[in-house]
Amino acid sequence: MFRQYYSRFEENNAQVLGISCDSVASHRAWSTSLGGLPYPELSDFHPKGKASQAFDLWNEDRGVSRRAVVVVDKEGIIRFRETYEPGVLPDPLDIVAAIEKLG
C-alpha cells in the first residue's frame, strides 16, 4: 500500500521506518511475504515495548504496541500522531500531507 507513495516520502526528505514488538525474524518473514519493503523494519522486541512506551503507544492490557503513524520533525518534535484499530489502515495521503507541512 505505501509502496506507491514511498517516492513522495523521499521527495520530502522523510525517513520511513516500520517498528513493532515482533522479533527480527518475524519482521523478515512478513516483509518477504510482501515481496520486500522499501524501508527498514525495526524490532521493539527486547526489552519488549520500550520504544512503544516512549511514544506512549504501549497497550498494557494486551502487552503490545498500539498501531500508529508518528511523524517526527528534525528537532525530534512529534508533528503528527494517529493511532489505528486493528484492521484499519492509515491513509497514506494524510501522512504525506503531514510531512509536506514540515516543509
Q: How many helices (H) and strands (E) does the chain have?
A: 4, 6
How far is 27 from 46, CA to CA, in rounded Å? 14
Residue ranges of domains in the chain, CATH in brackets: 2-101 (3.40.30.10)
- The dihedrals phi and psi of 3, each to the nearest 5 degrees, come to -55, -40
Span 28-50, pLDDT tens digits: 998 899 888 888 999 999 999 99
Contact 20, 43 (CB under 8 A): yes
Span 45-83, pLDDT tens digits: 999 999 999 999 999 999 999 999 999 999 999 999 999
